[in-house]
Amino acid sequence: MIRRAYCDIEAGQLHFRQAGNPDKTPLVLLHQSPSSSVMFESLMRALGDDYWLLAPDTPGFGQSDPLQEPASIAAYARAIQQFLDALNIKTALLFGHHTGASVAVQLAHDNPDLAQAMALSGPTLLSDQLKAILPEKAKPFPLSEDGSHLLGMWQRMRDKEPDAPLALSLRETLLGLAVGEAYPEAYQAVIEQPFGEQLQAIVCPVLVFAGTGDPLYGQLDAAFQLLRRGEKQAIEGARTYACDLYADDIAARLQAFFARAGVKD
């Protein structure tokens, strides 16, 4: 069963989902923008009781209060660390998808004793071309009397994965509309993060993977080359919503990787 709760941090209330066995190793799931921890529900069910599964909503997203400071990946990571501190979690496994990969790397970089192992789906080692086009992909749609802002966000989400179930696109459209300026701010934070330098400094085992249809798939080899203790995989056909649509596949990869990394309960 997936349960939802709130945790008090400096920014206010942080909303999270949890499942699994609290006596097992914590596995922290960090979502992409402009989604929320809801994107991990299928994956949490697939992972079962092998871990204590914790999926927080990044501040400003889902049902979490926004940051009380300018948005940055470092600020998001501090908020997640405060969340872990509140739950008395000293070490954990980390999994991040897209923006969540940025937060996971920052979190492990800033807290070297935290991560036992880490998996990154769509690692955000951005090329100059991606840095140039990302802001446009998160640009807000001004409210309009005719509701064209609704259609604009809908089309943006459909363009990410045109074959996605309509209910999934609707969920992501509503989340994108709800977060307002937090959406472009998160993308800008990803652009400004020194992701490569931080990834290169990580000493725990790291798995990097991406779907072959993921817009970040082209960065996979470069990210892998930076790893001290790394593995690389690809998921044929997966795209932006891999965690929803390939949950069983990703769950099996995570379980196998964490086992190879020697993670103890």
Q: Is residue 98 part of a domain?
A: yes
Let me know if residue 147 belongs to a domain: no
Whether 199 maps to a domain, the answer reads: yes
Which of the four pLDDT bands, split at 50, 70 and 90, describes residue 264? Answer: low
Domains of the chain: total: 1
Domain of residue 212 covers 3-129+187-260
pLDDT in tens, 39-54: 999 999 999 889 999 9
Q: What is the CATH number for 12? A: 3.40.50.1820
Confidence of residue 210 (pLDDT cuts 50, 70, 90): very high
Q: Which tens digit of pLDDT belongs to each residue from 126-163? A: 999 999 999 999 999 999 999 999 999 999 999 999 99
Token look-up 């609707």 returns 170
Confidence (pLDDT) at 6: 98
In-domain check, residue 139: no
